[in-house]
A and B are shown apart, each in its own frame.
Chain A
Amino acid sequence: MATMPHIKSREIKVVQDIPISKTLPFWEGIKQGKILATKCKKCGKLYFPPVADCSKCFSSNMEWIELSREATIETFTHVVVRPRSFQQEKPYTVAIGKLQEGLRVLAWLTGFKLSEIKVGMKAKLVAKITHEGEPTYEFTRPE
């Protein structure tokens, strides 16, 4: 980077192992085509992203709920300048959609031309496995 005299630092490569044991049904659910949220059995609050602990009543007694698929797009952007670990991807569209349950989800939006995407339009939320074999979910065109 530097145009001035400099010394290169030692190189370090960092990869974290992120624990998912408490939200495992979510990650397993994706493989079966389901998108799951958690609901607090004590106070009834619904959570997406799913959580193991209720921040409203502090209960850890949660149940798993399958989410509806129909979303209304509230906002979106098309990301052209990508971060280091997304350099191999083509520019992508990210949207926030509101589901019937009142929850919002942030995810990629695929299957539309950029010029077709409007605030307020409908999209479908689907479970997916990435080309790297990782579980994810996307908004796409409703059938």
Chain B
Amino acid sequence: MRRVAVIGVGCSKFGVRNDVNVAELAFEAFKPSIEDAGISPADIEFVAVGSVGAGAWYEELLPAVVFAEYCGLTGAGLVRCEAACASGSAAFATAYWAVASGQADVATALGVEKMREIDTPTVMEWIGRAGHYLWEFHNFGMTFPAYYALYATAHMAKFGTTEEDLALVAVKNHKYASMNPIAHLQNRISVDDVLSSSIVAAPLKLYDCCPVSDGAASIILASEEKVKELKIDTPIWVAGVGYASGTANISKRLDYLGLEASVLASQKAYKMAKVTPEQLDVAVVHDCFTIAEIMAYEDIGLCKKGEGAKLIREGQTEIGGKIPVNVDGGLKAKGHPIGATGCSMIYELTKQLREEVAEKGRQASMKNYIALAHNVGGTGHYCYVIILRR
């Protein structure tokens, strides 16, 4: 396998994007990514598209071909990757494998999702069907917040994690989103705002949940030879790629205290990258709900099992703390356009590792120049962990 680097990144503004159709949204991310890399669409041999809602919350059934045509990529190898909320990371991994294997010298991972073309109860319906339809949705109406609420209830009962601890995650992520011009939610909030917001699926309240967003992100990957040929001055190397899956039926999980897929995927990524959690300078983790971020701290080894709440209470995951997490606002406040999220995580980490984050107070300080992205699909159904190194 060859060494592979991220050489260009682009990200659209996240939010309610009724001003653009899905292909125009993809273009908003793709154009800056090729400008960043200094290449043209003709240089790209393979395109992996991350998208989930084809035919459900947006109208295209085969979106990859529509994006490829709109972005001038017709002719390149093309595939759509679906790994629920980790689809962007699945696309990133697929593009990585294309380059690492020698099949392509330059490949693109393009994550796109348009979720706001239909009403919210219908979005809740589609995402609720993301477990095992017949056994969890048909008679029981499980929603996505409800799935994570099951984990929150169990985590609180076992470890004494409180609703205030969950709220602190939202407060932190909104703080950083308020500094991030592409974030969906840019309002700062307090613990009381979270605690007094309406119940969605107890114990999770409105401000414990990420918004339903539109957005796109594009990542250009290249082989080491191509990096030299193109004279890329700050290649960001893909050091580790880890992946795992969990059961479709949530009733078959080991427990409700963490996600087994996250543990397995992160161990694989650390092993491949030959790094330990202590070496990370910055991380982005899957915080679709506040409890998800606390479990992620534990599952990827930023702290011991059961100590995630302590980490957020002590402010260790803010800039200046032990390990800054989700300083782009996270899914919680930057937004979670499902298929785009994984690519937008790589966008943020690339900017962080290049020390290019323009906004004051949002650049993490770099010591080892190592960063980690943790992207969960469904409720632990899929997990991808990517480690990048400058």
Of all chain B residues, which has the CB nearest A95?
B150
Interface residue from A4, A106, A118 paired with B142 (Cβ < 8 Å): A106
| Interface pairs (25), CB distance under 8 Å | A1-B119, A49-B135, A74-B256, A75-B150, A75-B157, A75-B256, A77-B146, A77-B202, A79-B141, A79-B143, A82-B121, A82-B124, A84-B122, A84-B124, A84-B125, A85-B125, A86-B141, A87-B121, A92-B140, A96-B250, A106-B249, A119-B153, A134-B139, A136-B139, A137-B139
Q: How far is the CB of A114 from chain B (nearest CB, A)?
A: 7
Q: Is the CB of A107 within 8 A of B157?
A: no
Categorize the interface residue count of chain B: 35 or more
Task: Assess the A119–B116 pair: CB atoms within 8 A.
Answer: no
**Which residues of B come within 8 Å of A, CB atoms?**
18-19, 59, 116-119, 121-122, 124-125, 128, 132, 134-136, 139-143, 145-146, 149-154, 157, 198-204, 249-252, 256
Please report the C-alpha to C-alpha distance between residue A82 and residue B121 in the assembled complex, in whole angstroms. Answer: 7
- Looking at the assembled complex, report how far the CB atom of B303 sits from the nearest CB atom of chain A, in whole angstroms: 22
Count chain A CB atoms within 10 A of each CB in B122, B145, B151, B202 and give the residue with the most: B202
Enumerate chain A residues within 8 angstroms of B150, measured Cβ to Cβ. Answer: 75-77, 94, 96
Report the contact-size class of chain A (Cβ under 8 Å from the partner). Answer: 35 or more
Q: When the two chains form their complex, are residues A80 and B134 in contact, meaning their CB atoms are under 8 A apart?
A: no
Contact B153 A94 (CB under 8 A): no
Interface pair B202/A49, CB less than 8 Å apart: no
**Chain B contacts for A74, CB-based, 8 A:** 154, 256
Partner among B116, B145, B153, B154 whose Cβ is within 8 Å of the Cβ of A81? B145
Mask: chain A, 85-117; 1 = CB below 8 Å from B; 0 = not: 111010010101000000111111000001000
When distances are taken between beta carbons in the complex, the residues of chain B under 8 Å from A85 are 125, 141
With a cutoff of 8 Å between Cβ atoms, the chain B residues found around residue A87 in the complex are 121
B122 to chain A, nearest CB (A): 5
